């Protein structure tokens, strides 16, 4: 394979990984709905130790999965083999102001990009409500923010260094578009990411505007709001106390039932940072300080993506479902927009998308609600967020992803023995 670099030298094969490790330690994700007990949990401190751990797994016939910050609600991480905790491989490793690029180790969290990039006059193009995820995990699942002209994190991947299923270090760049488009959203099934390069932007400030329109107003100004704001999103509240469930301040003047907690962020020019404002609902600050929504309570989510032109109809179908069949579901319904991209397994592959996020409380009975939501959205041919609870199957992928076969071919080239698959990903891509 032309993308394979010479094998990095390593120490003679060992009976155990060279990095710090533990045996049979249970792992649980942030939301508490996914758990497994790997045979080995390995915490590599550098590239060599990560490579040694993969080679150890290959030699012992053990599957390998990587874990980041554990924010995924789907069974992406579960394994009985080797779990690589990449949290010690962190840091910005380089920036290129002229070409607007930034490199970082795979375990670098999104919030760790802000200050170092800003010091170089750069910034991430977009972010989501949470910034605690490690960048490799955000790329693996096509994590995103909101804005009709803005893509996901994965759409910004321009180069990656990873360990493949042969125990070799591989680099994929823009000269290998077939492999790069597979790597941009791979759910960890091509290999273990070590370092990535992202396209970034010149630094910018954002002005926040929070409003609380009734649903009829949100629907009436639907397309204008999408078109006239860099970042536009809202959370429709079925009940008065819906905002409180996500630690959001509701309107001080209105009952929030059937209102939208609406966020608009637009680029602002300021002469100096003395103009920065931290007033809730009207903040003006560096972009990376504005994005995070501050969600701190645990929750589970189902997040589906429909074509932008179907967005309003799809949201109203979900509203009808909640009112008619699941009135006990009080969490806000979050709605966002993301630009189309070309990554083979991206939720946004080939189509601009409206994002519909349903949230529930851990420990409650939410499966029937999620199954019903999945059912009523099928007319819109929804795709699912890979890091959230979903009901995607291989047959659905064959209908919804025109480049599935190409992705599967690349995946097999990088990992012919399937060591980077677990039960969940094997059912989809095995």
Residue 218 CA, chain-centre distance (Å), reads 26
Residue 420 falls inside a structural domain: no
> What is the residue range of 218's domain?
205-389
**CA 206 – CA 413 distance, rounded (Å):** 43
- Domain membership of residue 93 (yes or no) is no
Query: What are the contacts of 315-319 at 24+ separation with CB within 8 A?
Result: 315/236, 315/354, 315/356, 316/219, 317/376, 317/377, 318/356, 318/358, 318/373, 318/376, 318/377, 319/215, 319/236, 319/238
Domain-embedded: residue 144 = no
Residue 76 lies in a domain: no
Structure tokens at 89: 């491989």
Any idea which residue has 């189509």 for tokens? 351
Nearest to 130 by CA among 31, 23, 258, 273: 31
pLDDT string in tens for the chain (430-residue length): 334 444 444 444 556 788 888 898 888 888 888 889 999 999 999 999 999 999 999 999 999 999 988 878 888 999 999 999 999 999 999 999 999 999 999 999 999 999 999 999 999 999 998 899 999 999 999 999 999 999 999 999 999 999 999 999 999 999 999 999 999 999 999 999 999 999 999 999 999 999 999 999 999 999 999 999 999 999 999 999 999 999 898 898 999 999 999 999 999 999 999 999 999 899 999 999 999 865 667 788 999 999 999 999 999 999 999 999 999 999 999 999 999 999 999 999 999 999 999 999 888 888 999 999 999 999 999 999 999 999 999 999 999 999 999 999 999 999 999 999 999 999 999 9
The answer to whether position 130 is within a domain reads no
Q: Are 261 and 250 in contact (CB under 8 A)?
A: yes
Q: What Å distances lie between residue 129 and 68, 154, 189, 325, 416, CA to CA?
A: 17, 16, 26, 29, 37
Domain contains 305: yes
The CATH number of residue 332's host domain is 3.40.462.10
C-alpha angle with apex 180: 153 to 126, nearest 5 degrees?
Answer: 10
Report if residue 350 sits inside a domain: yes
Indicate the number of domains in the chain.
Answer: 1
Give a yes or no: residue 307 inside a domain. yes
């Amino acid at each position: 394979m032309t993308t394979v670099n010479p094998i990095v030298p390593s120490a003679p094969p060992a009976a155990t990984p060279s990095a710090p490790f533990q045996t049979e330690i249970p792992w649980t994700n942030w939301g508490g709905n996914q758990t497994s007990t790997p045979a080995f949990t390995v915490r590599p401190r550098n590239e060599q130790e990560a490579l040694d751990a993969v080679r150890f797994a290959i030699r012992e016939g053990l599957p390998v999965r990587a874990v980041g910050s554990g924010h995924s609600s789907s069974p992406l991480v579960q394994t009985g083999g080797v779990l690589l905790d990449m949290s010690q491989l962190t840091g910005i490793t380089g920036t290129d102001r002229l070409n607007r690029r930034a490199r970082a180790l795979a375990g670098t969290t999104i919030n760790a990009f802000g200050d170092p990039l800003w010091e170089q006059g750069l910034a991430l193009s977009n972010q989501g409500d949470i910034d605690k995820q490690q960048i490799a995990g955000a790329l693996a699942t096509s994590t995103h923010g909101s804005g009709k002209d803005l893509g996901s994190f994965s759409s910004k991947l321009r180069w990656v260094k990873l360990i493949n299923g042969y125990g070799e270090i591989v680099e994929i760049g823009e000269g290998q578009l077939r492999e790069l488009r597979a790597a941009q959203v791979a759910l960890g099934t091509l290999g273990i990411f070590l370092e990535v390069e992202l396209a970034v932007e010149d630094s910018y400030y954002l002005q926040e505007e929070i409003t609380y329109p009734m649903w009829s107003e949100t629907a009436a100004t639907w397309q204008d709001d999408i078109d006239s704001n860099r970042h536009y999103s809202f959370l429709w509240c079925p009940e008065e106390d819906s905002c409180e469930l996500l630690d959001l301040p509701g309107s001080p003047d209105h009952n929030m039932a059937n209102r939208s907690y609406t966020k608009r962020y637009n680029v602002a020019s300021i002469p100096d940072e003395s103009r920065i404002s931290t007033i809730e609902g009207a903040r003006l600050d560096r972009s990376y300080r504005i994005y995070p929504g501050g969600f701190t309570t645990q929750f589970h989510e189902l997040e589906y993506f429909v074509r932008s032109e179907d967005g309003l109809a799809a949201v109203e179908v979900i509203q009808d479902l909640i009112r008619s069949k699941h009135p006990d579901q009080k969490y806000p319904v979050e709605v966002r927009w993301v630009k189309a991209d070309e990554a083979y397994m991206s939720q946004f592959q080939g189509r601009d998308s409206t994002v519909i996020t349903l949230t529930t409380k851990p420990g409650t009975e939410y499966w029937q609600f999620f199954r019903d939501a999945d059912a009523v959205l099928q007319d819109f041919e929804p795709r699912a967020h890979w890091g959230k609870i979903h009901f995607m199957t291989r047959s659905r992928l064959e209908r919804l992803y025109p480049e599935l076969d190409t992705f599967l071919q690349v995946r097999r080239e990088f990992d012919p023995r399937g060591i980077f698959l677990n039960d969940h990903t094997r059912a989809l891509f095995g």
